[in-house]
Amino acid sequence: MVTPFVLQDFDVGWVATDAVGQVALFTTGGPGPVPDSALPSVENSEEFVLSLPEMSDVDRVTAMAGANAFVEFAKRGFFAYDWSDVHRDARQGLRGYELQYRPLNPLTLSELPTPLRALAEATRLSDVTFGASIIVIGDQIS
Domain count, the chain: 1
CA distance 12 to 41: 10
Residue 141 lies in a domain: no
pTM for the whole structure: 0.83
Backbone angles phi, psi at 111, to 5 degrees: -90, -5
Per-residue pLDDT of the chain (142 residues; tens, 9 = 90+): 444 444 556 678 999 999 999 999 998 876 788 888 999 988 889 999 999 999 999 988 876 665 688 999 999 999 999 887 555 555 555 567 889 999 999 999 999 999 999 999 999 998 899 987 567 675 333 3
CA-based angle 101:56:127, to the nearest 5? 55
Residue 36 lies in a domain: yes
11 to 29, 52, 86, 127: CA distances (angstroms) = 4, 21, 10, 25
Within 13 Å, how many C-alpha atoms sit on residue 132's CB side?
A: 12
Residue 142 lies in a domain: no
Domain carrying residue 111: 5-135
